[in-house]
A and B are shown apart, each in its own frame.
Chain A
Amino acid sequence: MEDNDLKKIIKDLDQTGDAQEAARVVQGHNFKPLEDVSQSFLSIKSRTEASRDLVVKILNDISQMEIKNSNETVLSGTPSKLRIQLHMGKFIGFGIPLALVTLVAIIVIGNPFIKEKSQVSELRTIGDEEKTVDVAGSSVQSYIEEEKQVSQIDSVLKDIQSVSLNPPITNDLFGAGAIALEAQNASFNPGLMEFINQEKSVDIVNASFVKF
Chain B
Amino acid sequence: MMKKYFITILVISCVFSIGSGSVFAKEYESDNFSKAYKRFEEGKTNYTQAKTDWENEKQNDSQERLFEKTKDLLERSIDVLKKRNEQLRKRVELKEDVYKDYSDEIIKTLDDDSKNLENYLSNLIESTSTDTLNDVSLKISSHIQEQQTYLRKLVILSHIDQFENTTFKTVLDRNDKISEKIKELKNLGIDTLTVDILVKSASDQISSVRDNLNILRDEIKKQAIDSQKLADIEKRLISIQDAVKDIYQIFRKIAIEGNNLFSNKK
Contact = CB atoms under 8 A, between A and B. Distances in A.
Question: Does A pair with B?
Answer: yes
Interface string A177-212: 011101101111101110110111111011011111
Interface size class of A (residues with CB under 8 A): 35 or more
B1 A139 contact: no
B81 interface: yes
A104 B74 CA distance: 59
B248 A183 contact: yes
A170 B163 CA distance: 34
Contacts of B240: 188
A163 interface: yes
Interface string A108-125: 100101000100110011
Contact of A188 (B34, B47, B95, B237): B237
Quick one: which of A100, A128, A163, A188 has the most chain B CB within 10 A? Answer: A188
Contacts of B4: 93, 97
Nearest to B152: A199
Given A186-B171, A189-B162, A100 B12 contact: yes
A202 B84 contact: yes
A188 B230 CA distance: 15
B56 interface: no
Interface in A56-112: 92-93, 96-97, 100-101, 103-104, 107-108, 111
B26 A179 contact: no
Nearest to A176: B255
Contact of B181 (A163, A173, A188): A173
Quick one: which of A124, A170, A179, A182 has the most chain B CB within 10 A? Answer: A179
A147 B174 CA distance: 28
Interface stretch (A5-13, A41-49, A130-138): A130-138
Contact of A135 (B34, B133, B233, B245): B34
Contact of B163 (A103, A183, A188): A188
B148 A174 contact: no
Main secondary structure of the interface of B (DSSP, over half): helix
Interface in B157-215: 159, 162-163, 166-167, 170-171, 174, 177-178, 181, 184
B80 A202 contact: yes
B259 A171 contact: yes
B260 A210 contact: no
A7 B159 CA distance: 88
A173 B259 contact: yes
B33 A108 contact: no
A127 B41 CA distance: 22
B155 to A, nearest CB: 6
Nearest to A98: B8
Interface string B224-239: 0011001101100100
The 10 closest A-B pairs by CB, nearest first: A209-B141, A174-B255, A183-B248, A176-B255, A192-B159, A174-B258, A203-B227, A128-B30, A208-B77, A186-B244
11 contacts: A104-B11, A128-B27, A131-B30, A169-B256, A169-B260, A170-B263, A188-B237, A188-B241, A189-B159, A209-B141, A212-B70
Given A195-B88, A212-B130, A212-B134, 9 more contacts: A104-B15, A134-B34, A135-B34, A175-B174, A179-B174, A189-B159, A191-B95, A200-B231, A212-B137
